[in-house]
Every structure is written in C-alpha cells, then in structure tokens.
Amino acid sequence: MQKQSIFQSKLLPYALVAPQLAIVLIFFYWPALQAVIQSFLLQDAFGLSSSFVWFDNYIELFKDPAYFEAIVRTFFFSFAIAVSSLSFALLLAVMADKPLRGSMLYRTLLIWPYAVAPPVVGVLWIFMLHPSLGVLARYLRAAGVDWNPLLDGNQAAALIILAAAWKQISYNFLFFLAGLQAIPRSVFEAAAIDGARPMRRFWTVTFPLLSPTIFFLLVVNIVYAFFDTFGIIDTMTRGGPGTSTVTLVYKVYSDGLLGGNLGSSAAQSVILMVMVIVLTGIQFRFVERKVTY
C-alpha cells in the first residue's frame, strides 16, 4: 500500500522539522565542522592569527608519546570499567531475578545510581575516598593501605574506574534483568531437571542466552567509558596526579581550554569523532541482527 502524504503544502513538512534541524545543525554539525577546520590551523601564542598547516596537527599528535599514553590509558580504562561494571551488574541481575520478597524495592534502588549526573558521582566518591576527608579512606588507612590517590597515579586510576563503573552498573543491571526475564522460566526448569547445577546452568544456559545483551552493553559501556567519564575525571582528579588519569576526552579539554593549543585539541576531537562513528556503526549493525545465538 502506498503511503500518501497528507500535507497540502510542500513547505509545511519542512517547516515542522526545521526547529529540530536547526538544533542539530547549530549545536552538532557547526561545531564539528569548526573542529575539522580548526584541526588544520595553527594559532600563535596570543590567538591573534592562525595559519593553515594541513595535517601538521595530526602528525604532531602521533609523534607525541603523551598522546599515545592517553590512548593506551583510555583503552585500559574502558576495558576495566566495562568488565567490572558488566560482571557486577550481571551478578546483581541474576540475584534480583529470583522471586524474592521486596524484590521491587531492591530493583528500584539498584536503578537509582543511573539518575546521578557524572560530576555528582565524582564528588560522591571523593567524599568517601578523599585521603584526608574521606570516610572510607580512614578505614583503608586503618587497614594498613597507604591510600593517597592525590599522589599515587595507580590509586587515582582505580578511583576513576570504581566511580565510573559504579554509575554504569544501574544501566547494565536494567538491561540484564530485562534480558533474564525474556528467557522463558521453563528453559531454566528444563535445565534443572536435566541435572545442571546452578553454576553450570548459568554458564551453559543463562550466559549464552544473554550474549546478545552482553554484546550490546559492551559497546554501550565502551562508548560511555570513552566519553561520559569526563565529568567524573574532572571532579575527582582533574587528570592528575601528573597525567595518570588523562583520557583522550580529558586531553581534548586540557590541551585546548587549559593549554590553549586549539589546533591540536581540534585534531584530537576529530579523531574521537571518527572513533565514535565506528563504535556507533558496530552497534547499529548489531541491533539490526536480533538473534545472534
């Protein structure tokens, strides 16, 4: 059946989508275009003039060992955040899926952290783990841990991973719970009758049947760890100590706005843009294929 246009005028449909298009063009395409242009320019120290330098900014970046470190660090953070948050969320979802008294309350509470904005998450964890103010830091110290994320880069990294993973657990939990509930109960019952003990049942039935959800969440979590952790890093460590918690996104900010190197910052953001396009592409590809097992 042919779908017929119900609009009399040809202009009306365009007029109706115009506001949304304007927002997209002004706030997304225009800055993106600016970034691409900026990435080919080199500014003088006072920002008075700029010259066209072709790919010099990019070449400079790839020669810079600090940039390479940031790439490795970002991948490590992403991996650590995704794995820890996914596995913890899966554990909670499997437990929440059992028919328990008050399970609704339990589930609601587990979803709450998702509503907290990333900078607030950062502040929250700082309050708990700040070396001189933190409540938990005192216990850590009492337990003999030399806890000082303000000086120790590894501890600072652990802190970022912890806070970022914690925030993402809620989101993952929600999808895992929905995924678990989509599996017919009788499949688990059949496995129980077939003599599979709970652990084996999890690894041979639950886990494979959740694999589409796991893959989807893996991509979402990597995107999250790449881009949305900015607020957490900025409130908790500001990239420090030294550069031990500077990720690619944070480097765009610190090189550009703090360091004033707009050309390099723009080149970095163009690289990030390409990465996010690739990741989104993978995700779309995957979402189209509904069944993967």
Partner 1 sequence: MANVTLRNVRKTYTGGFEAIKGVNVDVGDGQFCVLVGPSGCGKSTLLRMVAGLETVSGGEIDIGGRVVNQVEPADRDIAMVFQNYALYPHMSVFNNMAYGLRNRGMAETEVKTRVDEAARVLELSAMLERKPRQLSGGQRQRVAMGRAIVRQPKVFLFDEPLSNLDAKLRIAMRVEIRKLQRRLNTTSIYVTHDQLEAMTLADILVVMNGGQVEQIGNPLAIYEKPATTFVASFIGAPPMNLMSMRTEEIKSQLGSAGEAGILGIRPEDFVITDQTPAGGVALPLTVEAIERVGAETFIYGSRAEDEQRVAATPGELPPGEVIVRVPGTEAPAIGQKIRVAAVRQKLHLFSGDGRTRIEG
70, exposed or middle or buried, with CB in 10 Å at 0-12, 13-18, 19+?
buried
Q: What is the CB neighbour count within 10 angstroms for residue 31?
A: 12
The residues of the shown chain that bind partner 1, judged by CB under 8 A, are: 184, 186-187, 189-197, 200, 204-205, 208-209, 211, 291, 293
Q: Which is nearer to partner 1, 52 or 293 (CB)?
A: 293
- Residue/partner pairs of 145-153 with CB below 8 Å, 24 or more apart: 149/237, 149/241, 150/240, 150/241, 151/241, 152/241, 153/241, 153/242, 153/244, 153/245
**Tokens encoding 189:** 């019952």
Q: Give min distance, CB of 157 to partner 1, in A.
A: 37
How far apart CA 86 and CA 169 sit, in angstroms, is 7
Between 5 and 186, CB nearer to partner 1:
186
Which one, 138 or 200, has the nearer CB to partner 1?
200
Q: Which is nearer to partner 1, 33 or 187 (CB)?
A: 187
Q: For partner 1, give the closer residue by CB, 108 or 186.
A: 186
121: three-class secondary structure by DSSP: helix
The one-character DSSP state at 64 is -
Question: 203: Cβ–Cβ under 8 A, 6 or more apart, which residues?
Answer: none
* Least distance from partner 1 to the Cβ atom of residue 108, Å: 22
132, 216, 140: which is closest to 174 by C-alpha? Answer: 216
Nearer to partner 1, 14 or 203 (CB): 203
CA distance 199 to 91: 12
Query: In the complex with partner 1, which residue's Cβ is closer, 107 or 201?
Result: 201
Min CB(90)–partner 1 separation in Å: 17
Strands (E) across the chain are located at 41-43, 50-52
